[in-house]
Structure 1
Amino acid sequence: MSSNLETLVTVFGGSGFVGRNVVRALAKRDYRVRVAVRRPELAGHLQPLGRVGQIHAVQANVRYPASVEAAMRDSHVAVNLVGILAKSGAQTFDAVQVRGAETIAKAAAAAGASMVHVSAIGANDRSSSQYARTKADGEKAVLAALPSATIMRPSVVFGPEDQFTNRFAALARLSPALPLIGGGETRMQPVYVGDVATAIADAVDGKAKAGATYELGGPEVLTMRQIMETILEITDRDRMLVSLPFGLAKLQSVFLQFAPGALKLTPDQVELLRSDNVVSQAAKSAGLTLEGLGITPDSMEAVAPNYLWRFRPAGQFQRKNA
């Protein structure tokens, strides 16, 4: 019986938040992992996730087909995790999430490799959000180039070092009030990054249906208000939750898109919040979910306290609600 050590998986965008969890999951299953990133000299943190020589970073930029083709050389599987939440210079939504995804799919097809493409539940070619539209267009481009590619659509992903729960916990430490865009009624299904990584590794194993689109969500559907309340409870912070109409939020985002860190908010992110981000009934009926892959998802309430404790007034030594 052949070992996974004979299989080379190229992970595009493997140095980010989701990427490092995917690399870890693949390394645990004994795959050889080639991590294709723009700055391989900054991907050294991935080395301890596997055995000596098992994980190797190479330079690749999805805007340059030759670099993508080089990264796919002799590879058996491609995993595309590349995506952006805000455009920056040449890194536009179309360049990265549509043409970049297509470039990877074409390179995988030319190499005779299979592919797992990570998109988002909010992907919709008729959305008012450019992020959501280009995610949908990217899926179409991938399937046109490689019809057997498996699409993974996670809801909002949480976990250590995320830009979701950590962001709001950081805001709660700085501000006496937190904004609820649109009244905080937008529904989400937060999914743990470890569960997403397991689903992607399962797809690499061949356990997912080729050409199918999976929707990955956690065990609970929560409104933004409920998510904020959970974060405040975990961090033991008493903060006002202030409703902010979409129109006013859009106006503020014109200026906040240039703000640093947790204060940053773009007009496109405001548009994203106009739509719910939950697993569809069609995906549930077809078994194209985490549960359909045999994965029992972890809840935010169960996992987040393990890393959000640092935002409590006295850190890990604080006795909650004392």
Structure 2
Amino acid sequence: MASNLETLVTVFGGSGFLGRNVVRALCKRDYRIRVAVRRPELAGFLQPSGKVGQVHTVQANLRYPASVEAAMRDSEVAINLVGILTEGGAQSFDAVQAKGAETVAKAAAAAGARMVHVSAIGADPQSPSHYARAKAAGEQAVLAAVPSATIFRPSVMFGPEDQFTNRFAALARISPVLPLIGGGTKMQPAYVGDVATAIADAVDGKAKQGATYELGGPEVLTMREIIETILAITERKRTLIPLPFSLARFQANFLQFAPGALKLTPDQVTLLERDNVVSEAAKAAGLTLEGLGITPDSLEAIAPQYLWRFRSAGQFQR
């Protein structure tokens, strides 16, 4: 059996939140990794994830097919992790998540490479959310070009560098009240390390080809329960004020231009109107983390390891 060091895996979007975890997981399994990102000079932090020379960074932009084809040269597996939560400039949902996914898939097909594509739970061509429609279009384009591709749809992901738990913890530090949008909306938060393990398993050949997996954590929690968990971990008492979707959407028209943790777009409000959980069909077919033999970690088990920095006394007891 050939060793993994002879297998070159190209990871598109490898410097992002999920990407850095995927690169780490692949390094542990001794793959050679080419990280294709828009700004390679900002991805140097990935080098220590592996042995000397194991991780190599190249420039590629999904809007320029020639750069994607160059990044795929001699590669046996393509992993597409590129996604955006908000649109800006030329980085639109359609350009990145639909057309971009198609560009990677076509380059993988031309190179005769296998493909793993990361989408999102809620991807649906009929969704009222532009984000979710673009994710669905990306899935369709990937399977049209590479019918054997494995698609992963994670629920909302948490981990040390996430834009989710850190955001609420940061807001709780500066505000005595927190707006609660979609307090009853159900989510199934997945630990980013578990999602990265699933992707590495697919590269190993353990996932079904042409299948769509839905990846969620061990618990289904409402948005209110998630925020209450974050407040308990960061030892802060805050008043949660339920905000109706209509009012939230009105506010998002202004907050979409806000910086950092305050940013909220109308499309994100639309997404919050639907539950974000693993479907019964995926569970029945074994197309889940558990189906891959992965026991998912819970928010309560992992989040205290990195959210302690939002406590008033840090890691120390008051």
For the aligned pair, the TM-score class normalised by the smaller chain equals over 0.9
Cross-structure match for 2:106: 106
CA distance, structure 2, for counterparts of residue 88 and residue 27 of structure 1:
32
What per-residue deviation string (whole Å, max 9, x for no partner) do you get for residues 151-198 of structure 1? 00000000001000000000000100111113x010000000000000
Cross-structure match for 1:217: 216
Q: Are residue 125 (structure 1) and residue 115 (structure 2) matched?
A: no
CA distance, structure 1, for counterparts of residue 123 and residue 229 of structure 2:
26
Preserved contact between residue 155 and residue 216 of structure 1 (Cα < 8 Å): yes
CA distance, structure 2, for counterparts of residue 307 and residue 295 of structure 1:
22
Q: Which runs of 5+ in 2 are unaligned?
A: none
CA distance, structure 1, for counterparts of residue 81 and residue 93 of structure 2:
14
CA distance, structure 2, for counterparts of residue 161 and residue 290 of structure 1:
21
Cross-structure match for 1:5: 5
Q: Are residue 271 (structure 1) and residue 260 (structure 2) matched?
A: no
Cross-structure match for 2:236: 237
CA distance, structure 2, for counterparts of residue 122 and residue 231 of structure 1:
24
Preserved contact between residue 189 and residue 222 of structure 1 (Cα < 8 Å): yes
Residue 307 (structure 1) shift: 0.2
Aligned positions of 1:57-96 closer than 5 A:
57-96=57-96
CA distance, structure 1, for counterparts of residue 167 and residue 42 of structure 2:
23
Cross-structure match for 1:262: 261
CA distance, structure 2, for counterparts of residue 292 and residue 107 of structure 1:
30
Preserved contact between residue 11 and residue 36 of structure 1 (Cα < 8 Å): yes
Match of 1:215, SS? Answer: strand
Cross-structure match for 2:177: 177
What per-residue deviation string (whole Å, max 9, x for no partner) do you get for residues 247-297 of structure 1? 000000011001011000001000000000000000000000000000000
Preserved contact between residue 9 and residue 32 of structure 1 (Cα < 8 Å): yes
Q: Are residue 286 (structure 1) and residue 276 (structure 2) matched?
A: no
User: Match for 1:117: what amino acid?
Assistant: H
Q: Which runs of 4+ in 1 moved over 6 A?
A: none
Match of 2:178, SS? Answer: strand
CA distance, structure 2, for counterparts of residue 139 and residue 17 of structure 1:
21
Cross-structure match for 1:44: 44
Cross-structure match for 1:33: 33
CA distance, structure 2, for counterparts of residue 210 and residue 119 of structure 1:
15
Residue 111 (structure 1) shift: 0.2
User: Match for 2:31: what amino acid?
Assistant: Y
CA distance, structure 2, for counterparts of residue 188 and residue 14 of structure 1:
25
Aligned positions of 1:295-310 closer than 5 A:
295-310=294-309
User: Match for 2:168: what amino acid?
Assistant: F
Residue 318 (structure 1) shift: 2.6
Preserved contact between residue 195 and residue 295 of structure 1 (Cα < 8 Å): yes
User: Match for 1:197: what amino acid?
Assistant: A
Preserved contact between residue 11 and residue 33 of structure 1 (Cα < 8 Å): yes
What per-residue deviation string (whole Å, max 9, x for no partner) do you get for residues 195-226 of structure 1? 00000000000000000000000000000000
Q: What TM-score does the superposition give when structure 2 sets the normalisation length?
A: 0.99
Cross-structure match for 2:251: 252
Cross-structure match for 2:53: 53
Q: Are residue 315 (structure 1) and residue 314 (structure 2) matched?
A: yes
Cross-structure match for 2:15: 15
Match of 1:253, SS? Answer: helix
Match of 1:318, SS? Answer: coil
CA distance, structure 2, for counterparts of residue 3 and residue 264 of structure 1:
46
Match of 1:277, SS? Answer: coil
Q: Which runs of 5+ in 1 are unaligned?
A: none
Preserved contact between residue 312 and residue 318 of structure 1 (Cα < 8 Å): no
What per-residue deviation string (whole Å, max 9, x for no partner) do you get for residues 79-138 of structure 1? 000000111100000000000000000000000000000000010111111000100111
Cα RMSD of the aligned pairs, angstroms, is: 0.5
User: Match for 1:71: what amino acid?
Assistant: A
CA distance, structure 2, for counterparts of residue 156 and residue 63 of structure 1:
26
CA distance, structure 1, for counterparts of residue 228 and residue 92 of structure 2:
34
Match of 1:143, SS? Answer: helix
User: Match for 1:271: what amino acid?
Assistant: T
CA distance, structure 1, for counterparts of residue 317 and residue 64 of structure 2:
50
Cross-structure match for 1:97: 97
Preserved contact between residue 189 and residue 221 of structure 1 (Cα < 8 Å): yes
What per-residue deviation string (whole Å, max 9, x for no partner) do you get for residues 37-71 of structure 1? 00000000000000000000000000000000000
User: Match for 2:307: what amino acid?
Assistant: L
CA distance, structure 1, for counterparts of residue 123 and residue 178 of structure 2:
27
CA distance, structure 2, for counterparts of residue 21 and residue 279 of structure 1:
22
> Identity, % of aligned pairs?
81
